[in-house]
Amino acid sequence: MSALYGTYARSDLAFERGEGVRLFAQDGTPYLDFHAGVAVNALGHGDPHMVAALKAAAEKVWHTANTFTIPEQERLGQRLVENTFADACFFTNSGTEAVECAVKTARHYFWAKGEKDRYEIIAFTGSFHGRTMGMIAASGNDHYLEGFGPPLEGFKHLAPGDLKAVEAAITPKTCAILIEPVQGEGGVTAMTAEYMRGLRALCDKHGMLLILDEVQCGYGRTGKFFAYEWSGIEPDIMAVAKGIGAGFPLGACLAKGEVAKSMIPGTHGSTYGGNPLASAMGNAVLDRMLAPGFFEHVEKMGQRLNWHLQQLAQRFPSQVLELRGKGLLAGIRIASPVRDVAARLRDEHHMLAMTANENVLRLLPPLVVTEAEIEEAVGKLAAVFEAIEAEAPSKATA
Ligand SMILES: *Cc1c(COP(=O)(O)O)cnc(C)c1O
């Protein structure tokens, strides 16, 4: 019997080592990893540069409090600022803390300007912002809220995609809009560039802040450093995590200087956030990602994945209902129960894939995936669909 909380429906599978896009189970069986620990293992497993960086950092100071200067953190912040819309960063240990910091930053910005009642945030159905009390309220999903008492006040939820509905929901209390440019958990729904530009315009018109949650879709996942780049707009605040440490727990809240400036000593903090060890790993990730050609590779592999999935959709029109997502955050809405398909992929074909809401199979390979590995994965998917159709030929043609 396990000594752990029963919060996860865990498989018995345990992995011992990894190499690139492969994970090796305790009995040595290789698995093709299109799960990447929920979009975290951006550089795959056992990346030599990451391993060397971790060993080097282990020989130095692991941790000091944020009351001292942390040169590795200064450098990581500087590199993020140079490569994004932002002027300032706050480092966290996780995605949910990064979004939490984004919400606190937005509320405090208006409070410091004397607009003390302006704390409401428009967020969206189908979103996922993490599991703290604050962020389950921001997500607004009853499934996560139920049983935990009164939710944090100040979030209004709308279905994404309708700009008129957003404008109608704005009141003098509204301080910001919070959105994932590509909803991950909710069903791999990518917002259009037009919609993102529309949200930016509404924020400008009403003096509100645009907060992006790029915890899952950022850090190269869509083929650009951040997904907002596709729409040509800039947010005021952005939460990032997952790929930022490529497996080392790290997150960050990025903001424009004007917005971050009210976050003075005492307004926020974290014991571990951006400590020397975490920041060294964050810098090692950037060494790899900011190298010439990295994002171009992701964009190209995203296009190849999409092309192969289109072929799959043509071959199995009764199984593949819709292709979703962007780049290497791909969703396939399927006809068969998605949990069964993911379990068959894992148990019969030794491939790891994720699920998302709306019966969507979610593919998030490490960003270093090759086309041969993509073909292998899509071949395994085809084998599963073939077996399903063979078992129920009447259903497949219905
Ligand atoms: C995973 C995720 C979070 C929460 O991140 P944690 O590291 O689990 O706290 C928040 N927002 C989005 C979009 C995510 O995908």
Ligand 1 pocket test: which of 96, 212, 214 has the largest number of ligand atoms within 8 Å of its C-beta? 96
Reduced to 3 states (helix: H, G, I; strand: E, B; else coil), residue 18 is strand
Q: Residue 326: what are its φ and ψ, rounded to 5°? A: -155, 135
Q: What is the pLDDT of residue 393?
A: 62
Spans of the chain below 50 pLDDT: 396, 398
Reduced to 3 states (helix: H, G, I; strand: E, B; else coil), residue 258 is helix
pTM: 0.97
Asked if 85 is an active-site residue, the reply is: no
Query: Does the annotation place 128 within a ligand binding site?
Result: yes
Q: What is the pLDDT of residue 250?
A: 98
- Determine whether the shortest distance from the Cβ of 124 to ligand 1 is under 6 A: no
349 contacts 384 by C-beta, under 8 angstroms: yes
Domains defined for the chain, CATH in brackets: 15-47+292-397 (3.90.1150.10), 49-289 (3.40.640.10)
234: left (phi over 0), alpha (psi -120 to 50) or beta: beta
The whole-angstrom distance between residue 96's C-alpha and the CA centroid of its chain comes to 11
Q: Which residue has the tokens 């315009």?
A: 201
Chain segment 244-301, per-residue pLDDT in tens: 999 999 999 999 999 999 999 999 999 999 999 999 999 999 999 999 999 999 999 9
Q: What is the pLDDT of residue 392?
A: 79
**Active-site annotation holder among 242, 256, 326, 380:** 242
- Type of residue found at 264: I
How far apart are alpha carbons 17 and 57 in whole angstroms? 21
361 contacts 353 by C-beta, under 8 angstroms: yes
CA distances to 16, 19, 29, 247, 341 from 26, rounded to whole Å, are 5, 14, 7, 20, 23
CA distances to 91, 137, 150, 277, 367 from 242, rounded to whole Å, are 13, 21, 29, 16, 13
Q: What is the pLDDT of residue 398?
A: 45
- Determine whether the shortest distance from the Cβ of 236 to ligand 1 is under 6 A: no
C-alpha 253 – ligand 1 centre gap (Å): 13
Reduced to 3 states (helix: H, G, I; strand: E, B; else coil), residue 293 is coil
Asked if 347 is an active-site residue, the reply is: no
- Type of residue found at 262: S
- Determine whether the shortest distance from the Cβ of 241 to ligand 1 is under 6 A: yes
Asked if 261 is an active-site residue, the reply is: no
Query: Does the annotation place 214 within a ligand binding site?
Result: yes
